[in-house]
Amino acid sequence: MPSYKAPLADIRFILEEVLDYPNQIASLAAYKDFDLETAMAILTETAKFCANEMYPLNSPADAEGLKYDAQAKTVTTPKGFKELYKKSCEQGITSLSQPVEYGGQGAPHLLNGIISEIQLSCNLAFAMCSGLSHGAMDALLQHATDDLRKAYLPKLVSGEWSGTMCLTEPQCGTDLGLITTKAIPHEDHYHLEGTKIWITFGEHDLAANIIHLVLARLPDAPAGIKGISLFLVPKFTLDGQRNPIFCGGLEHKMGIHASPTCVMNLEKAKGWLVGQPNKGMQAMFTMMNAARLGVGMQGLGIAEISYQTALGFARERRQSRSLDKAKQDESATADPILVHPDVRRMLLNVKSTNEPMRALAYWTGLQYDLAHVHPDPAARAEASDLVALFTPICKSYFTERGFENASECLQVLGGSGYTRDWAIEQHVRDVRIALIYEGTNHIQALDLVGRKLPIDNGRLYKLFAARMGKFLHKNGDNAEMKEFLEPTAKTLGLLNELTMGLAEKGMADPEEAAAVASNYLNLFALTVLSWMWCLEVKACLGKDTPFHRTKLKTARYFFSNVLPETRTLAALIKAGKAAMMDPEAGEF
Amino acid sequence: MPSYKAPLADIRFILEEVLDYPNQIASLAAYKDFDLETAMAILTETAKFCANEMYPLNSPADAEGLKYDAQAKTVTTPKGFKELYKKSCEQGITSLSQPVEYGGQGAPHLLNGIISEIQLSCNLAFAMCSGLSHGAMDALLQHATDDLRKAYLPKLVSGEWSGTMCLTEPQCGTDLGLITTKAIPHEDHYHLEGTKIWITFGEHDLAANIIHLVLARLPDAPAGIKGISLFLVPKFTLDGQRNPIFCGGLEHKMGIHASPTCVMNLEKAKGWLVGQPNKGMQAMFTMMNAARLGVGMQGLGIAEISYQTALGFARERRQSRSLDKAKQDESATADPILVHPDVRRMLLNVKSTNEPMRALAYWTGLQYDLAHVHPDPAARAEASDLVALFTPICKSYFTERGFENASECLQVLGGSGYTRDWAIEQHVRDVRIALIYEGTNHIQALDLVGRKLPIDNGRLYKLFAARMGKFLHKNGDNAEMKEFLEPTAKTLGLLNELTMGLAEKGMADPEEAAAVASNYLNLFALTVLSWMWCLEVKACLGKDTPFHRTKLKTARYFFSNVLPETRTLAALIKAGKAAMMDPEAGEF
């Protein structure tokens, strides 16, 4: 039966040998208490907790699901979740990277990101509760008044209270300009009226209070997204009164059965403005950007647990004979299916993409910390640019690949994978939503192409291409790296060319950019993953351990069997919009 | 809310204009009563039944699931299934293509295949019951004694009884050589003992009797697959006695919740030999080959209903503005999402592959009929070769693409697609098993590469390549077809080249062939689909109707946005086994 073991060796390798964490962290005074060994100790302990306490509840909670009481408008989470939540707060999962002044531990956000991956491997539905709290805390930290921060942050940090993001309404998801929830000024606060849907952990029994961050319109606000403001709407106000924001029902979903997805009705609920009037979208993006990296991590976390499950199965299950006589196990009537080329192909498709996705996730996590606390403003600005550029890539590519990888792992198990017994079908169902929420993957692609690339005439892209190009150039003489550097450089060249073409075409006709944005994002992601592999390969040279040797073999698989996907993507990007815009609406 | 409408216009187009059904059928005396109009009348009526009676039960049955009574060892199907089964038998769904002498209607198998697609769109879980019966009937028709045929076929044909295939055991699925179920001679029959798993509709309440076709070993049978025989094991013997073949439990699965997947325990159950002793695999393949085409049809059927659901949503749902001002609907605050390039991209990915898959499915269905009843033995032999060659391609490619297409359609609906309300998440869950059962998709690829290609030094492949090449050559001067013929000819050239390379490499090292088999099958499929598109395009030339104009636009999308997948596949096939066989078992 499946179990989970955190990839601590890979985590340490990336931190120490790829990201140069010891030196990077030494340069950040804010994080001086979190050297590599301290970080690894925290990660190791949390990983143990997640594997032993969180993972075993994953499959039973999926089967049990949630109970909604229509009378009381309450939601009961599956057996064991309350105790688990309490323990996870004690473990410091909600407080780790929050500021010390509000009771947090002040650790780098990077560590929080790594713990996210581990948690999401173990119990995605459960982990979303604290994931949403982090988004709410970020928004309050950056946009709320000092009074609101002092009143609400300490208990969010401790986990006594949880947070939500209330954006979507029945008539609008992608297009938030259509929001109609109203906020009417009343005394020192506002009365909010409207209906929000798809509110994750909008109602539940894990925390004593739920702090909703709600997008709504002030009276006389301009139409569209320029007239949206952000409000803090607690389930219980500070005086202990029940605020009329009620759960009107739960969605019945393909997966994340243990994560309540609520309809929330605001019936003159008391709210307090967060940030400036009509600047709610800006504050919302603070939550969204962190949340988008978090959702990307869901793709990686699920791909990792799926890989572990499939590999465990492939080592045990015996079926048919190796085609290579030398590999046949004469003591048995069949060989472990791990001998078969196609089983290896499927596993390596997953392993050779999971590992550079992890490197990229942590690389981006480090940039996030640099952007916030690096002493040099120029370094902060550059790191911030790179986070902005890579956020849509991580969200979209990791979830798309994560879903494919989970499905590929299911295939390794054959019929067993389709039954509940191995939980892998749950992983496929659970991760499917990650391609949709926090902005569908195409919205990420539009963010990349329509928002991030045009900034300052390509400043973000140029920074990235220069950074990556510099690495390739610097290592160009390294004969041992040639087999990896050459295709990587070629891919970067292709991306450069297509980016220029896209900028020109997209300027003349926005539909051209939108038509190829999704494929462009995937090609961009593969380019960055090949860079990550080069960073990993470089860290392996001259280190003749089993771990490092395996890394090189896995990298080779990526370059021969995954990177060629760029060939198709390039052709599709070059094809442009013609064939997709040509049919009339009636011709579909 | 979603509904289903059978693609009757496309069906008629393929039959009449692509397959030349009227002339083809006229040459087959056996089918003289089934001219085009008769065929369309049957299809139209059955489609109406499926849309009105079968489809509405699909979603509720998924939610309700099955009930297993451990005491009585019985299975209760969801509400409405019994009545629906009775009506579907009255509609002639079980009898349509069965021989008149056993009470069938003697229609071409092609029509049965088309009805399969329609049924599978409407209710995959339900349709599997009669699907399994067809496999059992085929095996009995071809391999059973006259006595057994007379005793069992009429009630299978009428649907009063249903059939199963009992192959898998706990220790063996792919590797049937490991079967241990025993058959001990006893009087004029056998006593069967053993446990079978994953038996679809192994126990249920729809039919009065269940006729199991069971693989087992005779005493002193040779080891491996050469010692396996096929037996008929009825739930009730002809004298009305309950035969001890009992359902020991149901699997809990990702999807097809209304299709019972049973553990079957044979406790000295009475069985009768079907075919020759120790030749069970051969008889089994009779069932399997038809079943494999049927499973391929599941991929297409689900892709079709998913497309219809997504398209319906995309026409209604309004979100954001068209990037092209001219297309903006000034009467509303947002435009239907069908205006957005990426929504069109997703829908066209599906439409432009569904349609040639349908053409290929029916083309293969026609070959199946030609193979059985064409007056010329040479024509029968050729048709039989083509069916053998295309069966693994249809099974594997249609299910893989069907799953991708269903998931792509889910994405069109965004968050709504993830909820049960639109049933599309069910389609994704239901179709996922089709990549696994009746031989996993990689087993199909091995069948293609290791069994079908080597026959007679490439006889099947050469026949296919000559047939397709002849078409391309014959139409080479057609200027209007140039844009389609050129890439198709190029793809066939590529496939020819890779096939030769594969034959050489695979001869020297079977692992080389196995390593690339899955990608090779997909490249083969894309080649055949491009041929199918050329056939459709040819049928459209000079016909300036909306239907035919749409076909051309859809074909163009396929060539610009789908066929380039061959570029990546070719690179992977050329990469061979090196990177996947290099890692040691401990390095995964």
User: Does the distance separating the beta carbons of A550 and B583 come in below 8 Å?
Assistant: yes
Exactly one of A438, A483, A511, A587 is catalytic; name it. Answer: A438
B270 touches A at CB < 8 Å: no
Q: Which of A167, A163, A185 shows the shortest CA–CA distance to A177?
A: A167
Dihedrals phi, psi of A317, to nearest 5 degrees: -70, 125
CB proximity list for A579: less than 8 A, separation 6 or greater: B348, B553, B556, B557, B560, B561
Separation between Cα atoms, residue B14 and residue B300, nearest integer Å: 15
What value of ipTM does the predicted structure carry? 0.97
Measured between CA atoms, how close is A7 to chain B, in angstroms? 13
B476 touches A at CB < 8 Å: no
pLDDT band, very low/low/confident/very high, at A364 (cuts 50, 70, 90): very high
pLDDT band, very low/low/confident/very high, at B290 (cuts 50, 70, 90): confident
A518 touches B at CB < 8 Å: yes
Answer whether residue B1 shows pLDDT above 90.
no
Looking at residue B120, its pLDDT comes to: 98
Amino acid identity of B122?
C
What value, to the nearest 5°, has the Cα angle with vertex A448 and ends A554 and A226?
150
Separation between Cα atoms, residue B433 and residue B440, nearest integer Å: 9
Binding-face residues of A in 384-403 toward B, CB within 8 A? 403
Tell me the pLDDT tens digit for each residue of B156-211.
999 999 999 999 999 998 899 999 999 999 999 999 999 999 999 999 999 999 99
Kindly report whether the global pTM for this prediction surpasses the value 0.95: yes
Answer whether residue B133 shows pLDDT above 90.
yes
Mean pLDDT, residues A282-311 taken together: 93
Tokens 């095996």 identify what position? B139
Q: Which CATH number fits domain B161-279: 3.30.160.100, 2.40.110.20, 2.40.10.170, 2.130.10.10?
A: 2.40.110.20
CATH class of B8-157: mainly alpha
Measured between CA atoms, how close is B173 to chain A, in angstroms? 8
Separation between Cα atoms, residue A153 and residue A98, nearest integer Å: 9
Cβ atoms within 10 A of the Cβ of B325, count? 8
Answer whether residue A389 shows pLDDT above 90.
yes
pLDDT band, very low/low/confident/very high, at B116 (cuts 50, 70, 90): very high
User: Does the distance separating the beta carbons of B579 and A572 come in below 8 Å?
Assistant: no
Looking at residue B289, its pLDDT comes to: 83
B174 touches A at CB < 8 Å: yes
Binding-face residues of A in 294-313 toward B, CB within 8 A? 311
Mean pLDDT, residues A364-371 taken together: 97
Burial class (CB in 10 A: 0-12, 13-18, 19+), A331: exposed
Question: Quick one: which H or E segment has residue B163?
Answer: strand B161-166
Report the mean per-residue pLDDT for chain A. 97
Mean pLDDT, residues B60-75 taken together: 98
A160-278 fold = Butyryl-CoA Dehydrogenase, subunit A; domain 2 (2.40.110)
Looking at residue A305, its pLDDT comes to: 98
Separation between Cα atoms, residue B359 and residue B363, nearest integer Å: 6
Looking at residue A558, its pLDDT comes to: 98
User: Does the distance separating the beta carbons of B571 and A341 come in below 8 Å?
Assistant: no
Looking at residue B367, its pLDDT comes to: 97
pLDDT band, very low/low/confident/very high, at B155 (cuts 50, 70, 90): very high
Please name the member of B168, B407, B415 whose beta carbon is closest to the beta carbon of A173. B415
Tell me the pLDDT tens digit for each residue of A225-284.
999 999 999 999 999 999 999 999 999 999 999 999 999 999 999 999 999 999 999 888
Answer whether residue B285 shows pLDDT above 90.
no
Answer whether residue B579 shows pLDDT above 90.
yes
Task: Note whether A405 and A352 are within 8 A (CB).
Answer: no
Amino acid identity of B270?
K
Separation between Cα atoms, residue A483 and residue A434, nearest integer Å: 34
User: Does the distance separating the beta carbons of A546 and B586 come in below 8 Å?
Assistant: yes
Tell me the pLDDT tens digit for each residue of A110-139.
999 999 999 999 999 999 999 999 999 999
Looking at residue A253, its pLDDT comes to: 98
Answer whether residue B287 shows pLDDT above 90.
no
Q: Which of A41, A38, A36 shows the shortest CA–CA distance to A13?
A: A36
pLDDT band, very low/low/confident/very high, at A287 (cuts 50, 70, 90): confident
Tell me the pLDDT tens digit for each residue of B376-406.
999 999 999 999 999 999 999 999 999 999 9
Answer whether residue A174 shows pLDDT above 90.
no
A585 touches B at CB < 8 Å: yes
User: Does the distance separating the beta carbons of B415 and A436 come in below 8 Å?
Assistant: yes
Burial class (CB in 10 A: 0-12, 13-18, 19+), B459: middle
Looking at residue B169, its pLDDT comes to: 96
User: Does the distance separating the beta carbons of A583 and B344 come in below 8 Å?
Assistant: yes
Looking at residue A457, its pLDDT comes to: 94
Task: Note whether A526 and A563 are within 8 A (CB).
Answer: yes
User: Does the distance separating the beta carbons of A419 and B585 come in below 8 Å?
Assistant: no
User: Does the distance separating the beta carbons of A587 and B578 come in below 8 Å?
Assistant: no
pLDDT band, very low/low/confident/very high, at B339 (cuts 50, 70, 90): very high
Share of chain A above pLDDT 70, in %: 100
User: Does the distance separating the beta carbons of B580 and A344 come in below 8 Å?
Assistant: yes
Binding-face residues of B in 209-228 toward A, CB within 8 A? none
Task: Note whether A394 and A441 are within 8 A (CB).
Answer: no
Mean pLDDT, residues B368-378 taken together: 96
Binding-face residues of B in 497-516 toward A, CB within 8 A? 510-511, 514-515
Binding-face residues of B in 4-63 toward A, CB within 8 A? none
Share of chain B above pLDDT 70, in %: 100
Separation between Cα atoms, residue A341 and residue B88, nearest integer Å: 44
Interface test with B, best of A418, A573, A581, A584 (most B CBs within 10 A): A418
A406 touches B at CB < 8 Å: no
A351 touches B at CB < 8 Å: yes
Answer whether residue A354 shows pLDDT above 90.
yes
Measured between CA atoms, how close is B115 to chain A, in angstroms? 23
Q: Which residues of B touch A437 (CB under 8 A)?
A: 415
Cβ pairs bridging A and B (under 8 Å): 241
A583 touches B at CB < 8 Å: yes
Answer whether residue B49 shows pLDDT above 90.
yes
Separation between Cα atoms, residue A210 and residue A245, nearest integer Å: 10
Tokens representing residue A11 in the block? 């985590």
pLDDT band, very low/low/confident/very high, at B283 (cuts 50, 70, 90): confident
User: Does the distance separating the beta carbons of A572 and B518 come in below 8 Å?
Assistant: no
Query: What is the three-class DSSP state of B77?
Result: coil
pLDDT band, very low/low/confident/very high, at A409 (cuts 50, 70, 90): very high
Binding-face residues of A in 415-444 toward B, CB within 8 A? 415, 417-421, 425, 428-429, 432-433, 435-437, 440-442
Q: What is the DSSP string of A220-244?
A: TPPSGGGG-EEEEEESB-TTSPBPS
B170-181 core/surface letters (b: 16 or more CB in 10 A; e: else): ebbbbbbbbbeb
